[in-house]
Amino acid sequence: MKRRMDTIGETVKGHIAEAKLSPLQDEIRKYILMRFVKDGRPPSPKEIMEELGLSSADAVHQTIEKLQKFDIIMRKNDEIISAYPFSATETRHKVIFEDGHEVYALCATDALGIHFMLDKGITILSRCPECEKEMRIAVKDGKINSCNPEEIIEFVSDRERGGCTAETLCPFINFFCAREHLQEWRKKNPEFKYGEIYSLDEALEHGKTIFGNFLK
Looking at the chain, the domain(s) classified CATH 3.30.450.410 span 93-211
Instruction: State the pLDDT at residue 25.
Output: 96
Of 170, 3, 159, 156, residue with least CA distance to 71: 170
More confident residue, 169 or 160: 169
Q: In the 8-state DSSP scheme, what is residue 79?
A: E
Instruction: State the pLDDT at residue 65.
Output: 96
Residue 147's H or E segment, with its range, is strand 143-148
* Domain covering 4-81, topology: Arc Repressor Mutant, subunit A (1.10.10)
Q: Is the pLDDT of residue 167 over 90?
A: no
pTM, 2 dp: 0.94
Round to whole Å and give the CA distance between 63 and 23.
11
Instruction: Decide if 94 contacts 134 (C-beta within 8 A).
Output: no
Round to whole Å and give the CA distance between 83 and 33.
7
The DSSP secondary structure of 181-211, one letter per residue, reads HHHHHHHH-GGG--EEEE-HHHHHHHHHHHH
Average pLDDT value for the chain: 93
7-16, 117-126, 136-145: lowest mean pLDDT where?
Answer: 7-16
161-165, 169-173, 204-208: lowest mean pLDDT where?
Answer: 161-165
Give the max Cα distance, the chain.
57
Tell whether domain 93-211 is in CATH 3.30.450.410. yes
Q: Is the pLDDT of residue 160 over 70?
A: no
**Residues 67-98: tens digit of each pLDDT:** 999 999 999 888 999 999 999 999 999 999 99
Round to whole Å and give the CA distance between 31 and 162.
27
- Average pLDDT over every residue of 24-42: 95
